[in-house]
Structure 1
Amino acid sequence: MKILPRLIAGLIASFAPLLSVPAHAIVGGGSPSTEGVAHSVVTIVGSRGNFCTGALIAPKLVLSAAHCVQPGADYKIVEYGADRQPSLQDVKTVAIHPGFNMQAMQAHRATADVALLQLAAPPKGKTPSALGMPNIPIMIGSRFTIAGIGVTVRGDGKSGGTIRVAGLVATGKPGTLQIRLVDPVGQGTRDGLGACTGDSGAPVFEDKQGGPLIVGVVSWSTGPNGSAGCGGMTGVTPLTLYRDWIVRTAQKWGAGL
């Protein structure tokens, strides 16, 4: 095996604790996948210990959640080689939507929880997914797919490291500000499929005539019946109000969408 260059080795050493953090992801047994909607999914780590999911939407452009990439920390994209050894790739620039409010997100209220990361180089083995917007009006029972990286059992780090997908349905009063998703079987009243901490920023897909498009990002989650935890409800920030900002920011960075 080739020895990593000294610079990369130093980065791995400084971020190593983050790569082993048991980041809770799609719980309830989401299906592992590297094809379909999973081909654009990337892992984001921050120097303050956070661990999130993002989606490649252009060769060097990643969409994620604003709360994942707050100022005051360095962020990297994790790549895995054929031997599954991680390496860290540079993020050049981060743009957070100016309308984002952390307090609103933490209270599960609607806010502009979207951000873009400009990468130094295209991530290996990944291809971009196209952006869209949810079908309007969004109906209760409308189907969406989330794709994230992390553990499938809370607290069990050994179950992580695999991209997993889950099909969820809209509940409550879905709209252009926020969509709340639940497992279609348990309807959020008992443990089921759902996002958790490591899935923050994960892409949310809706099937369109030309194939699945990213229509939102994962912002928060709860346990059954609104309890603390995961496997109950998944809060999504739809791109309806924010797609124009994403396109404009990408253009400023020289990336066409």
Structure 2
Amino acid sequence: MTKSMLARALLFLALVAAALVPTATPAQAVKGGEHTTHPTYPWSVVITRPGSASPWKVSCGGALLAPNKVLTAAHCMDPSIGDFKEKTVIWGRTDLRTTDGKVAKITSYWKHPSYQWGSLAGDDIAVLTLDQNLGAPGDYLKVATAAEAAEVNKIGNQTVLGGTWGRIGPGTGEADHDPVMKKATLPIIDPVATGGCKDIGWSFTPDKQLCNGPIKNDALGTCGGDSGAPVVLNTANGWRQVSLIESGDSNCGGPQVTSKLTNYEALISEQVGTEPPPPTGGVTNGGFEAGTAAGWSAGGTGNAASVVNTGARTGTYAARLGSTTATNGESTYSQTFAVPEGSSRLSLWYSMTCPDTVSYAWARVTLKDNTAGTTTTPLAKTCTNGQGWKQVTASVITGHSYTLTLVNRDDNHPSDPVHTLYDDVTLGATLQQAPAGQRLQS
């Protein structure tokens, strides 16, 4: 074993608790990258664990491949750094200081059968199964296939680490952590060229791994917390995940060893399964008259989504997000649907109880066109109190898949609990007019 390989192995043992695997060490939030937003790389997730030294408990990154399936590095599940059931997966959060997005638990995981804990020789992949669905069809990342290998694995490809959170330096102080999502261009380089992964003495298996630049430097490289984060390439067929971070330099200065996912795509696909198409009959249970949230998925850190039989606009039931007592963060209901023939407009109604200000509490509605990859906000953040039912509308396109998300946020102040009722979510050809005396908002 060379001196550098020995140092690398020791680094792995020391840093595995931070959930980075060394190439020289496991990877963390990228040093020298640039800030980005979650909608730019909507498949990105951050994996947290209770024992992490990060102020935000960052442990690893990962990519959402299906509603409840995440691809990450196998070493991120190493039992020596805690029970996987204590870890969480956060999706939809650009800034970890906020409560945006959804938080899921890991119910089980699959790791490559040839991977051994602590190994640097490849096969370092795992697929996590979550306790709830995250994202929408347009958010899921596709792994590059064996048929695409010649294109995506070429030396010189400008692959992107997109995105990641965590440390931005090799230290453990607050200055070495960044709560905002980052990205970095990490081109594929020749592992045997000067400064390449194999040239500098690292363990490297060409059939299973890629070497991503830049070569050793003090400005740019993966760092503790980047392990498992996706490395992607924008191809003629859309974004493809080419690899994931396995290990990197102990001083966060490149190069980095990543998996060669074209070798594993078939195995990964077996674990992920086939995503079912969105329903073809439009919105399900839009009036909540089932008396349950059938057709809707609850989410958010506020954990206060219910169907109630008081205050409905029409019929007996309405959805209530938030509660009559204080809740902490956003509570959401979301539904993915396809727009049937003859429909061109979405309509819904909301009634808000918000004895607060929009700086701290709000209702909001977002509509993601999964087919086009765009998101609109039919209802921007608003905080109104006792003003009755208001209508919100948005244009939709026949045949497109959409994800509608209804939101209520409360700041957990006990003196002014905030909640929002939602009702009568429908698709139609023309705009419904509000009855006299009620406000129309679009």
Shorter-chain TM-score bucket reads: 0.7 to 0.9
> CA separation in 2, counterparts of 1:132 and 1:142?
14
- Aligned-pair CA distance for 1:216: 1.2
Change (3 A) 1:246 1:256: farther
Change (3 A) 1:48 1:98: farther
Unaligned runs of 5+ in 2: 1-17, 19-26, 53-57, 193-205, 278-442
Q: Aligned residues: percent identity?
A: 24
> CA separation in 2, counterparts of 1:39 and 1:210?
17
Give 1 or 2 for the bigger CA radius of gyration: 2
Structure 1: which amino acid aligns with 2:47? I
Unaligned runs of 5+ in 1: 1-17, 223-227
The aligned length equals 220
CA RMSD of aligned residues (A): 3.0
Alignment map for 1:69-218 (pairs within 5 Å): 69-71=77-79, 73=83, 74=85, 75-78=87-90, 80=93, 84-85=98-99, 88-105=103-120, 110-123=121-134, 127-133=139-145, 135-136=149-150, 138-147=153-162, 148-154=164-170, 155-157=172-174, 159-173=177-191, 175-183=206-214, 188-218=215-245
> CA separation in 2, counterparts of 1:81 and 1:180?
28
> CA separation in 2, counterparts of 1:145 and 1:232?
14
Moved more, 161-170 or 24-33: 24-33
Other structure's SS at 1:240 match: helix
Contact 2:67 2:135 in 1 (8 A): no
Task: Compare relative contact order (CA 8 Å, sep 6+) and give the higher one, 1 or 2.
Answer: 1
Structure 1 or 2: more helix by fraction: 1
> CA separation in 2, counterparts of 1:198 and 1:145?
16
Structure 1: which amino acid aligns with 2:67? P
Moved more, 24-33 or 199-208: 24-33
Contact 1:30 1:152 in 2 (8 A): no
Structure 1: which amino acid aligns with 2:237? G
- Aligned-pair CA distance for 1:48: 4.9
Moved more, 195-204 or 78-87: 78-87
Query: 2:256 maps to what in 1?
Result: 234
1:44 equivalenced with 2:47 (yes/no)? yes
1:25 equivalenced with 2:29 (yes/no)? yes
- Aligned-pair CA distance for 1:230: 0.8
Contact 1:247 1:256 in 2 (8 A): no
